[in-house]
Amino acid sequence: MWLLLLVILGLILFYRWHRQSQVLENLSDKYVFITGCDTGFGRQIAKQLDTRGMKVLAACLTEAGAKELERATSSRLRTVILNVTDSQSVSAAAKWAADIVTDKGLWGLVNNAGILIPVSPNEWLKKEDFLRILDVNILGMIDVTLNLLPLIRKARGRIVNVSSIAGRHALCGGGYCISKFGVEAFSDSLRRELKHFGVKVSIINPDFFKTEILNSTRLKENITNNWKKMSQNLRNDYGEHYYHNYCKFIEEICSRSSTKLTLVTDCMEHALTAVHPWTRYSAGPYAKFLYMPLSYLPTSVADYILGS
């Protein structure tokens, strides 16, 4: 009996492996638009797809970031300056992409651009602090996607949205977790709506990686500045102990972060190049073995384990 079960399990795992290992043909004919390519995941996936021979349209926030990426890649890769919070910039970038891809359409869109600061306990922040993050991480993503959707539908292509484990558990205060929960909802609705057109939508849930947004020094400086701007009464209510513990918590998260960005970008690449991409990718050991499984357990269990 046990032998039969093991054989069945082995066959299921082999089938899944075989199905997920199938790669699309003619990758060199496909265009992919990526946001946030100055550093981190965006820069890495742009280089990775360029190496695979795909035609990368890399959107950078700065001229310096664009020039550095161009020097590190082939002539196939093209760059454009894009501020996802500026609708005129988004529209101009979409027109630029349309002029390049013409009738081929856009095979892939990787919504990667994002920020984490300001971050602090919620009561330490103002409405404007939340808006700053939401404007980049979710509203900017929506604007870019809506502007490029006609090109993606034409190619019956792929959309890859970078969420986070913070889109499954609110690990910190501020707009970051709220924005990532929004990415989850936006991706789910897109996936169901665009199935009719043959477009596939994938979500990437990374855990902790050493990128520009997860910089321990900058994060602690931001928390300290928010602490100092609070009224004396509010600081008394929370106390110095709470402030120091929160800084320590952020520092611990940063200390867990990995330098192996390919754990995330390999997921992005699979979502764009596999015949059968996953709907969701858990990128990194903490995502795979702790935070994502924890998201399926009762809230009381998750709260206890996360120390809430």
Contact 204, 268 (CB under 8 A): yes
Question: In angstroms, how far is the first alpha carbon of the chain from the final one?
Answer: 44
Ramachandran class of 203: left when φ > 0, alpha when ψ lies in -120 to 50, beta otherwise: beta
Q: Which of 176, 246, 286, 291 is catalytic?
A: 176
281 is catalytic: no
Phi/psi of residue 172, each to 5°?
-150, 165
CA–CA dist 172, 166 (Å, integer): 8
CA–CA dist 79, 65 (Å, integer): 9
CA–CA dist 36, 163 (Å, integer): 14
Instruction: At 238, list the tokens.
Output: 């929370």
Q: How many CB atoms lie within 10 A of CB 4?
A: 8
Phi/psi of residue 90, each to 5°?
-65, -45
Tokens 């935070």 found at: 291
- The half-sphere exposure of 98 on its side-chain side, counting CA atoms within 13 A, is 14
Which residues are known catalytic residues? Answer: 176
